[in-house]
Chain A
C-alpha cells in the first residue's frame, strides 16, 4: 500500500507526515530532477503502509520542477491512495488544488488541517457537506495539537474514494475536451492537460494545440488562465456552501512591526546578526570538543604507531578529512540549520524576502534570492542547491556568483581563528565589511552584464506560526545529511590526493614555484601557498594547515599581524571549496563553475595584493 501526501506549501503537510511515520524517514532524489521526496513507513493492523511526502505545490499544471514531478507521479498512478492536505484557515485557495487532484480520478481523502487556526479565525466548516459535494471523505485535523491525526491512515486505507465533483469549464473548453476525448480516446484529465501543452502523446498534443489556439484567439487569454479562472470559480462556490464565518477581529499586530521599513528592516538585521553570533559561539565551543577528541583519539595514536611513511600519510589525510568534515559540519552547519529551520517554520523567511526585495532588485535579483544567500552563511553547498527555486537563468547565474562569495561558517572559522584571535575583533569585522562591499559591487556589475530576462518574485507569506521542535530537528537533520553526502566523499578523496602530493615532495616544488607570488605580491611566507591549496578542500583547513606548517599554534611567532590579515582575506575570497565547485557544476553547468572559480581566484589575489600594496605605502 502506497499513499501520497499532496498539498500547498505551508499547510502542515510535513508535520502530518512526521506524525504518521515517526523516525526512519528516507530522502530520495527523483531521477532526472533535484527535488527531494521524503518517504516513510507507517503501520496499520501490522501491515506496513508506505507514505510519500510530495513537495508542496499550488497547482498540478505549473512550470516548476516540483509541480512537474508531482503531476508525473500522479499521472503514473504511483499511489494506491492520495491524502490531499488542505489548510482549513485558507480553505478557498486550497480547494483549487483539491479540484485539480479530483480530476485524476484516484482514490483520495481530503484532510483539512489547521482546524485550530480556522477556529480561532471564526471559520466553521461543514465537512459533511464538503464530502457530499466532492465525493471524497473529509477529515478535520490539527497537526500541531495532534487532533484526529491517528484517524488519517485508517480512513485513507479503507474509505478513500474517487471524487465525483467536476469543474464546470467554459463551454469552448468543454467542447474541446469532448472532441479530444473522442478523437484520441484519452481520458478527460489528459485532454485538459494537452490543451495546456502538457503530456507525452504527440498526436494528442498536436490536435490540442490547434484547438487551444482557436480558443485563445476567441477569448484573448491563454487556455491555462481560462482553466484557472473556472477552477477558482468552482472552488469559491464550494467554499461558500461549506464554510461560514463569524466576524473575529483580525490579528496582525506583529506583522505591522515586521513588515514595515521601520522597524521591520532593523528587526531583520538584528535577527540575522544574532543568528550568526549564536552559530559562531555555539559552533566554536563544540568544534573545539570534536577537534580535541580527534586529536587525542586518532591523530596522536597514529603518530605514535610508527607506521610505514606512505601508509601514515594516507591514514593521516583520511583522519584530518573526517576531522575537518565533522568538526565543521556538526557544530557550525548543524547549529545554523537548526536556527534556519526555526526561521523557516515560523514563516519569517518569506517576510525577509519581502523586506529584501527592493535591494535585491539592484543586483538583478529579487526578494526570494535572499533565502539562498542567507543559507550561504551556513554553507554554500545547500545554498547553491536552493537557487533553483528562484526563477530565470539570469537570476540563477547572478545568485550563484554572489552566494559563493558569502562567507560560510568555515570561512567564519578562518576569520575568527586567525584575525579575531591574533589581530583583533575590529580587524575581523573589517574583513566581513570588505567581503560585503565586494558582494555588493559584484552584484551591481553582474546585473549589468548578465543577459536574460528577469521575472520577479511571487511568494506566499504564511501566517506567523510557532514551529514544532520535532519538525525543526528533522529539517536540520535532513539538511545536514545532504551536506555530508555531498561534501564528505570529496573531502576524503581530495585530502588523500593532497597527502600523496605532499608525500612525494610535489608540494615543495609547488611552494617554490609560487613563492615569488606569495612573498612578492602578497607579502606572505612561501608555505602559505600550501595552506591556500588545502583551503580548497575545506576553507577552514587553510587555517589548520597553516598551523601545522608553521609548527606552532601561536601564529604571531612566525607571521606578522599584517600577514595574518592578508592571509585570512585572501583565503576567504579565494576559490570556493571543492564541494561548492562540485555542486556548482551539478546545478549550473561546467561553464559557470569555471567562471566563478576563476573570478574568485582573481578577486582573492587582487584584493590581497591591494591590501599589501597599501600597507607598504602606508608603513
Chain B
C-alpha cells in the first residue's frame, strides 16, 4: 500500500460517509478510486490493521476516529492546493481538481502551511502592503520584541535594501533581536551586531509564526 492508495481510500470512505451516512462496501470504494477489487481488499485490510478503518463485519467499512483525522488532513491539503491552483494561477476547475488530487499526496505540511498563509495574506491585502500596512498579515522586524529569533521573509522597498543585503539581511536568514531601545533595534545577523532605525526595521518583513 503506497501513500496515494492509502489516502485515496481514506478520502473515498469519508466522501461516502458524508453522502450516505453509512459505511462503504468495497465495491463502492473501488468505483470511486478506480482500483481493482483485489487491491481494495488488501488496502482495507492494512488500514484495519493500522486502526484507521473498522470492519463492521457486514461487508461495510467505517472510518475510525484516527481515520477521520487522517482523511481530514488530506482533504484540507487538497482544498488548499485546489484553491491555489484555481485562484492564484488561474487554472480551470477541472484541471485544478485533478492536479490537486495527485499533488495532495506528496506535499509536505510546511508547503501547505505556507500556501495557506500566502492565500490568507493575499485575501487581506489585495493592493499590496504599502497602503494597508495595518490590515496586512505580514510582520516586520519592528513588530518583534527583544530576544525574538525570526527568519527574514522579504526586504521591502528601496532605500537601504542594498546595504542590508550586504550585511547579510537576505530572505531566509535568521535574525535575533538583541536589544530594543524604543523602536531602534540592535540585531544579530551572521554573528555580527547591527543597529537599525525604526524605518529600516519596518522594511524587513519576517515570517509570521504559523
Contacts and interface: CB of A to CB of B under 8 A. Distances in A.
A533 B179 CA distance: 49
B90 interface: no
Contacts of A455: 159-160, 199-200
Main DSSP-derived SS at the B contact region: mixed
B186 A355 contact: no
Contacts of A519: none
B127 to A, nearest CB: 16
B167 A456 contact: no
Nearest to B159: A455
A132 interface: no
B89 interface: no
A158 interface: no
A618 B118 CA distance: 71
Interface string B188-206: 0111111111111000000
Given A232-B173, A354-B186, A460-B192, A96 B160 contact: no
Contacts of A59: 162, 165-166
Contacts of B181: 259-261, 264, 354-355, 357-358
A395 to B, nearest CB: 11
B131 interface: no
A367 B194 contact: no
A552 interface: no
A222 interface: yes
Interface string B79-117: 000000000000000000000000000000000000000
Interface string A30-73: 00000000000000000000000000001101111000000000
Nearest to A95: B190
Contacts of B166: 58-59, 62, 96, 228
Interface in A455-497: 455-463
B165 A229 contact: yes
Interface string B148-163: 0000001100011111
B163 A58 contact: yes
B122 interface: no
B198 A458 contact: no
Nearest to A256: B179
Nearest to A453: B159
A23 to B, nearest CB: 33
B183 interface: yes
Given A358-B183, A458-B194, A93 B163 contact: no
Given A358-B181, A460-B193, A229 B172 contact: yes
Nearest to B196: A458
A62 B186 contact: no
B158 to A, nearest CB: 9
Contacts of B159: 453, 455-456
A238 B181 CA distance: 35
Contacts of B121: none
Given A93-B168, A357-B184, A455-B199, A62 B162 contact: yes
B182 interface: yes
A584 interface: no
> Size band of the B side of the interface?
20 to 34
Given A229-B171, A357-B197, A458 B163 contact: yes
Contact of A260 (B155, B163, B179): B179
A287 interface: no
Given A58-B163, A224-B162, A460 B194 contact: yes
A458 B164 contact: yes
Interface in A242-289: 259-261, 264
B195 A224 contact: no
A90 B160 contact: no
Contacts of A350: 195
B190 A225 contact: no
A62 B161 CA distance: 10
A457 B192 contact: no
A457 B163 contact: no
Contact of A93 (B155, B183, B191): B191
B170 interface: yes
Contact of B170 (A232, A458, A459): A232
Contact of A229 (B170, B183, B198): B170
Interface string B37-72: 000000000000000000000000000000000000
B184 A90 contact: no
A62 B163 contact: yes
A19 interface: no
A92 B190 contact: yes
Contacts of A457: 184, 195-197, 200
B161 A222 contact: yes
A163 to B, nearest CB: 20
Contacts of A62: 162-163, 166
Interface in A337-380: 350, 353-355, 357-358, 361, 366-367
A451 interface: no
Nearest to B191: A90
A69 to B, nearest CB: 16
Given A93-B191, A225-B161, A361 B167 contact: no
B182 to A, nearest CB: 5
A212 B83 CA distance: 32
A358 B184 contact: yes
Interface string A443-460: 000000000011111111
A357 B195 contact: yes
Nearest to A391: B160
B197 A366 contact: yes
B162 to A, nearest CB: 6
A93 B173 CA distance: 12
B195 A353 contact: yes
Contacts of A458: 160, 163-164, 167, 194-197, 200
Nearest to B181: A261
B205 to A, nearest CB: 13
A225 B155 contact: yes
Contact of A459 (B171, B172, B179, B195): B195
Nearest to A57: B166
Contacts of B193: 460-463
A259 B198 CA distance: 16
A454 B164 CA distance: 16
B186 A461 contact: yes
A361 B197 CA distance: 9
Given A228-B166, A357-B197, 8 more contacts: A90-B191, A259-B179, A259-B186, A354-B179, A357-B181, A457-B195, A460-B192, A461-B193
Interface of B: 154-155, 159-168, 170-173, 179, 181-184, 186, 189-200
14 contacts: A59-B166, A63-B162, A63-B163, A92-B190, A96-B166, A228-B165, A354-B179, A354-B181, A456-B198, A457-B184, A458-B163, A458-B167, A458-B200, A461-B195
Closest 7 CB pairs of A and B: A456-B197, A228-B165, A59-B166, A357-B184, A58-B166, A354-B195, A461-B193
